Amino acid sequence: MLQAIHNRLDELYPEMVKIRRYLHQYPEVSFQETKTAQYIADFYEKLGIPYQKNVGGNGVIATLEGGKPGKTVALRADFDALPIQDEKDAPYKSKVDGVMHACGHDGHTASLLTLAKTMKDFQDDLPGTIVFLHQHAEEYAPGGAKPIIDSGALDNVDAVFGTHLWATTPFGVLQTSKDVFMAGPDRFEITIQGQGGHGGYPHQTKDAITIGTQVVSQLQQIVSRRLDPLETAVITIGQFEAGNAFNVIADKARLVGTVRYLKRDIQEQVIDEMEKIVKGISVANDTSYSINYEKGYPPLVNNPKEAELVLEAAKHVDDIQTAEEIKPVMAGEDFAYYTLAKPGAYFFTGAQLEGHHYPHHHPKFDIDERAIPVAAKTLISAYFAYQKQH
């Protein structure tokens, strides 16, 4: 039956592309995906598959009960876009000013919808129950995964699988991990309040810019000099805002950045060291400061058994030439909440467009659409592998 399902997905490839390109032209940012959610709900309405709307926010969950006994397994796809101007030259580029699908979530949705359409035809012979989990707001913390879990919608789910069309991994390559797969991403904002003044009289001021640069420099030494060299963390300053004239010494500096980590104790150590550094520099310069540290998603940790099932499933997908375990990546994903709540695994489906090497969240981001059916085939193959194992 699995091969017949794969063949049917191949037949539906033009529809996958059509869905993906439609969604690509009409993106909606996190927590505002009402039209996209309605599009998904309408799709299931036409299929005659029971569904719920407004799950944990804008989430949509459809449930297909098979004709044979088995476990209940959720397959997840996210559907929010990003506040980025689409700059690529393509007939399906975004029609919404300042918003685009710059991470492949449109492809995730197209993959899961056409998989649902396929599995409806195989419902009588299907073991167990498939939960088609369409999640909103992956891109922006606190995200959509946690409120969906908190709603109780997944209480009866036995396992969960998900994939990301990964634009920096070649087509035909599947990547996953049997342990930590993606980092925990946090956000912080530091404000240094000094004392401004005339550019010609620095001794009468407390220069927020020079103090801010000391903070930037010292924060980098948390990773290089305060953490165990065998541990992993990233501290990045993405914004440094201060001053408004060439001859005026700034009285305030604002630093905004991100911390990425793989272990909770490292996260706590970074927070502690950051407080010491900013406080110490501020005291030394007789200035005041504030730190607003926002903890984001936890690290995404795959269950080893479910990750092994994904690697096994890849063997049944003709277009996958390589299925490999990789080291953790420092991007974040709120799929992490699912694997905290249920056994599960997440994996990358290679979707790099030949000659097009723009990364995720880039204004010219795009994917190899041939990866969309590969994602669907791998998800359903993992589903069957799970049913067989249990």
Catalytic site residue from 33, 138, 333, 366: 138
Active site residue 138: yes
Residue 81: DSSP 8-state: B
Helix 13-25 and helix 371-389: axis angle, to 10°? 110
Q: Residue 337 burial (CB < 10 Å; 0-12/13-18/19+)?
A: buried
Residue with tokens 């110490």: 280
Q: Is 87 a catalytic residue?
A: no
Question: Long-range contacts of range 6-10, CB-CB < 8 Å, 24 or more positions apart?
Answer: 6/316, 6/317, 6/318, 6/377, 8/118, 8/121, 9/114, 9/115, 9/118, 9/373, 9/376, 9/377, 10/373
The H-assigned helical ranges of the chain are 2-11, 13-25, 34-47, 105-121, 145-150, 208-221, 264-284, 304-314, 336-341, 371-389
78, 80, 251, 333: the active-site residue: 80
Closest CA to 81 of 62, 99, 61, 94: 99
Looking at the DSSP bridge assignments, the partners of residue 71 are none
DSSP state of 203: G
Tokens for 34? 């009402």
Evaluate whether 171 touches 371 at the Cβ level (below 8 Å).
yes
Which residues are catalytically annotated?
A: 80, 138
